[in-house]
Amino acid sequence: MKHRLIVMNGQRIVESEQAEGNWHIDRVDKAQGIKPGIYNLYASSQADKTTEYAGIILHTDNSAVYQQVGKNIIKHQLQDFIKVPEVGQVKGIRYNPQGMAVVVEAATVKLSQEK
């Protein structure tokens, strides 16, 4: 099932496709600092556990954490997190040797990438 996130007028709308082209609203809440736009969560790329990612947390569901990194959306498996980052926060996510996600301040990741 396809999911997308629409942000407009200070609201964050999570929709799922029920039939060909028919979208159903699953949830509505505050945008929490996410820029207005349409975010196709179904088109996200799976996280590479050897890479560090920095960006805003767009959405979390029962199986994944979605993070916008540049113009891309990265999908992190929820089971890899001990503590799930909050939607709307700009965070860095990297993986430890055991494959668990470590959430850090985004500035820490950016600085480490500039070296």
Residue 95: which CATH number? 2.40.50.140
Cβ neighbours around 76 below 10 Å, total: 24
Measure the CA–CA gap between 34 and 56, rounded to whole angstroms: 8
- Predicted confidence at residue 108, as pLDDT, reads 57
Q: Give, for 38, the enclosing helix (H) or strand (E).
A: strand 37-39
- Predicted confidence at residue 29, as pLDDT, reads 95
Q: Give the predicted TM-score (pTM) of the model.
A: 0.89
Range of the domain at 69: 3-114
Q: pLDDT tens-digit profile of 51-78? A: 999 999 999 999 999 999 999 999 999 9
Measure the CA–CA gap between 40 and 23, rounded to whole angstroms: 12
Confidence of residue 1 (pLDDT cuts 50, 70, 90): confident
| DSSP conformation class of 41 | G
Longest dimension (CA), the chain: 48
- Predicted confidence at residue 115, as pLDDT, reads 36
- Predicted confidence at residue 114, as pLDDT, reads 42
